[in-house]
């Protein structure tokens, strides 16, 4: 695959997000490019076979335009960047989502495996190419799944080259993987993935040819040398590309069915074909108008007596929250456990870094209020990601700063101590006990001045309808009392008052 003597690259630099279509799919648009490195040993030629590692589930492809550096340079100006490019070709930035948790963003294991960067088959000389007139397409089992062009890039090739060369010399043969468009998804053993880069409007329509990779199943299990593969339903949604894609893959037998508590909103249960609960904008708005106290009455009628998260209140009076639960669990402090789980990108940081728009992060702190479980930096991260709020049955550190951020936070109250005084951040997205209430990922959380309540998704619509009816009745009673009526026979209503109320309701 040599072109003018270019050998194996010394560096393979990959861009995280660069296509608007992919950024929209991910729900975030970066303000500047960010990168990770892939080892040269991950390169593979066309026509090869890539093993999905034993014990993993989410091997995903990413068709990309690869830029090959020809002329070395440091501090390259954007206007001169394309003159440093020798060629472009197709690449496939494979990754295993099951291994991302231990990478802390580096992608060393999740994307650095042998054969995880198929490349080629032909290099297209850059001399006669326009950098904004390239196309990348990907097929899985003959079906076109990715199709985008370089003129849509958030960060054009010239910006990437200029940015990277500010800090490092780009050397002859170095490769920049310039990002993948929407359509990246999971492949399974037996699938065939093809990627092609071409310049359809250039003279002769030059092309890299089809970069072909066949997926097989690995047999060698992971040893006890490090973090083993692990996934959850939220990772499944991200790997497959969308909730709808995951649901379709489950129905086709290509994906693992969601566990139920974190089933993707908007999908359908593969076994029963019944709709999975979705917290729509309408439901969210209606839940935001009713009181937790009235919701609790409706739930008690159905036998749910322990769904209030006891002892928590809003850091800023008057704040409300509505959202689906993401969960984080702490265990009691122990030096050896904190040494193994408390540092680095631990469960607490992962939870705040993964909470999605409209979700409520619920933290099990065993009612221990003598230390903080969230501070200003993590609250700011949750606010930036669009979280609906945080609920913890522990304390809040940096309480004044957290209150200023404006994110609804319900807790046992402020405390200046740091996390490690009482807790070890242990795990995320599991069933927890917060303030005496069981909380599962995906439960609906509602909070107001009376406290916070947990609603099982299957009960939301009927409980909400009953609550709205009850609150109309309560408001009507309050109007009568405000006019001077006695509460005797009115609260609760006797038959006469009930008949009067029903007549007015029918009139409305």
Confidence of residue 259 (pLDDT cuts 50, 70, 90): low
Q: What confidence score (pLDDT) does residue 286 get? A: 94
Q: What confidence score (pLDDT) does residue 268 get? A: 36
Annotated binding residue 472: no
Annotated binding residue 375: yes
* CATH fold of 307-455: Glucose Oxidase; domain 1 (3.50.30)
**Residue 444 backbone dihedrals phi, psi, to 5 degrees:** -95, 130
Greater confidence (436 vs 263) lies with 436
Q: Stretch 319-347: mean pLDDT, rounded?
A: 92
Confidence of residue 421 (pLDDT cuts 50, 70, 90): confident
Helix (H) or strand (E) holding 152: none
Give, in order, the Cα–Cα distances in Å from 226 to each of 102, 229, 377, 382.
9, 10, 29, 29
Q: What confidence score (pLDDT) does residue 320 get? A: 95
Annotated binding residue 232: no
- Residues 6 or more apart whose CB falls under 8 angstroms from that of 194 comprise 138, 139, 140, 210, 211, 212, 213
Give, in order, the Cα–Cα distances in Å from 434 to each of 261, 312, 360.
16, 10, 13
| CB neighbour class for 406 (10 Å; exposed up to 12, middle 13-18, buried from 19) | exposed
Annotated binding residue 279: no
Is it true that the peptide bond before 243 is cis, omega within 30 degrees of 0?
A: no
23-65, pLDDT tens digit by residue? 887 777 888 999 999 999 999 988 789 999 998 999 999 999 9
**What's the rounded Cα separation, in Å, for the pair 432 and 429?**
9
Comparing CA positions, the residue from 313, 322, 318, 285 lying closest to residue 409 is 313
Overall size of the chain counted in residues:
508
**Residue-averaged pLDDT of the chain:** 89
pTM of the model as a whole: 0.55
Q: Where in the chain is the domain with CATH 3.90.850.10?
A: 12-223
Q: Where in the chain is the domain with CATH 3.50.30.40?
A: 307-455
Q: Stretch 376-402: mean pLDDT, rounded?
A: 94
Annotated binding residue 376: yes
CB 210 within 8 A of CB 194: yes
Out of 3.40.50.150, 3.90.850.10, 3.30.70.1880, 3.20.20.300, select the CATH number for domain 12-223: 3.90.850.10
121-144, pLDDT tens digit by residue? 999 999 989 999 999 999 999 999
């Amino acid at each position: 695959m040599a072109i003018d003597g270019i050998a194996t690259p010394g560096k393979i630099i990959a861009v995280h997000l660069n296509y608007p279509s992919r950024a929209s799919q991910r729900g975030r648009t970066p303000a500047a490019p960010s990168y990770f490195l892939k080892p040269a040993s991950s390169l593979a030629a066309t026509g090869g076979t890539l093993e999905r590692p034993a014990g993993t589930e989410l091997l995903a492809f990413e068709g990309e335009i690869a830029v090959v550096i020809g002329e070395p340079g440091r501090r390259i100006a954007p206007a001169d960047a394309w003159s440093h490019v020798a060629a472009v070709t197709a690449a496939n930035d494979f990754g295993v989502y099951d291994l991302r948790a231990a990478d802390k963003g580096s992608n060393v294991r999740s994307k650095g495996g042998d054969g995880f960067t198929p490349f080629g088959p032909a290099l297209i000389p850059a001399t006669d190419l326009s950098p904004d007139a390239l196309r990348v397409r990907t097929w899985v089992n003959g079906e076109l799944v990715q199709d985008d062009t370089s003129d849509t890039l958030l960060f054009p090739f010239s910006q990437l080259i200029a940015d990277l060369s500010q800090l490092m010399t780009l050397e002859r043969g170095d490769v920049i993987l310039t990002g993948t468009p929407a359509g990246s998804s999971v492949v399974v053993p037996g699938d065939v993935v093809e990627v092609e880069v071409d310049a359809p409007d250039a003279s002769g329509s030059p092309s890299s040819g089809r970069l072909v990779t066949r997926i097989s199943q690995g047999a060698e299990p992971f040893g006890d040398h490090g973090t083993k593969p692990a996934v959850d339903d939220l990772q499944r949604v991200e790997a497959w590309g969308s909730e709808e894609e995951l649901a379709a893959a489950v129905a086709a037998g290509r994906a693992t069915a969601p566990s139920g508590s974190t089933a993707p909103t908007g999908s359908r249960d593969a076994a029963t074909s019944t709709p999975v609960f979705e917290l729509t904008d309408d439901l969210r708005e209606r839940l935001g108008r009713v009181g937790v106290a009235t919701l609790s009455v409706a739930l008690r009628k159905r036998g749910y007596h322990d769904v209030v998260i006891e002892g928590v209140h809003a850091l800023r009076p008057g704040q409300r929250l509505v959202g689906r639960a993401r969960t984080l669990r702490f265990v009691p402090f122990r030096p050896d456990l904190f040494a193994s789980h408390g540092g680095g990108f631990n469960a607490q940081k992962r939870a705040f870094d993964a909470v999605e728009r409209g979700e409520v992060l619920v933290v099990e702190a065993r009612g221990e209020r003598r230390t903080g479980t969230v501070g200003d930096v993590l609250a700011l991260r949750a606010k930036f990601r669009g979280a609906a709020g945080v609920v913890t049955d522990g304390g809040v550190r940096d309480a004044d700063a957290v209150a200023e951020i404006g994110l609804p936070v319900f807790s046992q109250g402020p405390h200046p101590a740091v996390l490690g005084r009482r807790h070890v951040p242990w795990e995320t997205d599991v069933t927890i006990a917060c303030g005496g209430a069981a909380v599962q990922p995906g439960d609906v959380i509602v909070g107001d001045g009376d406290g916070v309540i947990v609603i099982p998704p299957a009960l939301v619509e009927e409980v909400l309808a009953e609550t709205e009816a009850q609150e109309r009745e309560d408001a009507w009673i309050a109007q009568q009392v405000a006019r001077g009526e006695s509460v005797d026979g009115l609260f609760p209503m006797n038959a006469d008052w009930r008949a009067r109320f029903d007549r007015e309701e029918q009139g409305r």
